[in-house]
Amino acid sequence: MKYKRILLKLSGESLQGDAGYGISTERLNSYAVQIKAIAQTGVQIGIVIGGGNIFRGLQGAKRGFDRVKGDQMGMLATIINSLALQSALTAEGVRCKVLTSIRMEPIGEYYSKDKAVEYLESGAVVIIGGGTSNPYFSTDSASALRGIEIEADGFFKGTRVDGIYSADPEKDPDAVKFDDITFDEVYRRNLKIMDMTAFTLCKENGLDIIVFDMDTEGNLQKVLAGECIGTLVHN
C-alpha cells in the first residue's frame, strides 16, 4: 500500500441508495465492509460525509430558507450520517470515533487536529462531522481542509461515477475518461469535480485527489492498491 493515511470523502446522496432520500442500510453496510477491509491492512482512515441525502443548504436557500440557517441544517445532516456510519462500523467490529466541528458532546468529541491524529495513530477510524462549522463551505471544502490538517497522503472522493470525464458521460456519448489529470488541466477545461475552494486548497497544499466509484463493492481496496479504476488529480 502506498498510502499510510487517507481522507475518504463519502457522498451523502450515495448513502440514500435507491430510496431517493434518507439512509439505505444496504449502502451503509457496504461502505462499512469496504472501510473495515482497508482498516485491517493498517491504513489510517479519516472520513468526511456529505449531508445531501437529508438536507442541502443551497437547495434550502432556493426554497426560501435563510442561507446560513440552511447550511447549519446541512451541517447537522452530516453529523447524522457520521453517527450512522459509526454504528455500522462498530457492528463490523471496527473501532471508530466521531469528532464534530461544532461542540455537541456527548454526540461526538469536539474536533482538533491533535485529537484526530491521536485516534488515527491508535488504529481508530475517525469520522469528522459538521463540515467546517461555517456556512458557505461545502463538505468537499471540509474534506480538503481536514485532509490537509491530518496530513493525509491522498484525498479519496468516493462518488457514484468511476472517475473524471471530459464531459458528462450520461449526456455525451463521446465523453472521454481521464486516468490522471493535472490540477491546471482541470482548471483549463473547466471540469466540475468539486467546488473551487476545495480544489484550490488541494492544489496549493499538494494533496492529490482520487475520484472513484465507491458504490461498487471492493473498489476502495482496488483503488488503494493502485489499480487504475478512478482518476488521479495531481500537480
pLDDT of residue 65: 77
Whether the CA torsion 114, 118, 6, 72 is positive or negative: it is: negative
Residue 113 has which C-alpha cell?
487536529
Out of 3.40.1280.10, 3.40.640.10, 3.40.1160.10, 3.40.50.2300, the CATH code matching 5-234 is 3.40.1160.10
Which distant-in-sequence residues (6+ apart) come within 8 Å of 112 by Cβ? 99
Residue 179 has pLDDT above 60, yes or no: yes
Alpha carbon 27 to chain centroid distance? 15
Mean pLDDT of the region 134-140: 95
Rounded to an integer, what distance in angstroms lies between the CA atom of residue 89 and that of residue 111?
20
Mean pLDDT of the region 149-161: 95
Is residue 108 within 8 Å of 52, Cβ to Cβ?
no
Residue 60 has pLDDT above 70, yes or no: no
pLDDT of residue 45: 98
Please report, for residues 1, 77, 115, 126, 128, the alpha-carbon distance to residue 112 in angstroms, rounded to integers and kept in the order given. Answer: 27, 20, 5, 12, 10
Mean pLDDT of the region 54-68: 76
Residue 1 has pLDDT above 80, yes or no: no
Summarize pLDDT for 69-114 with one digit per residue, the tens: 989 999 999 999 999 999 999 999 999 999 999 999 999 999 999 9
pLDDT of residue 61: 64
Rounded to an integer, what distance in angstroms lies between the CA atom of residue 210 and that of residue 215?
15
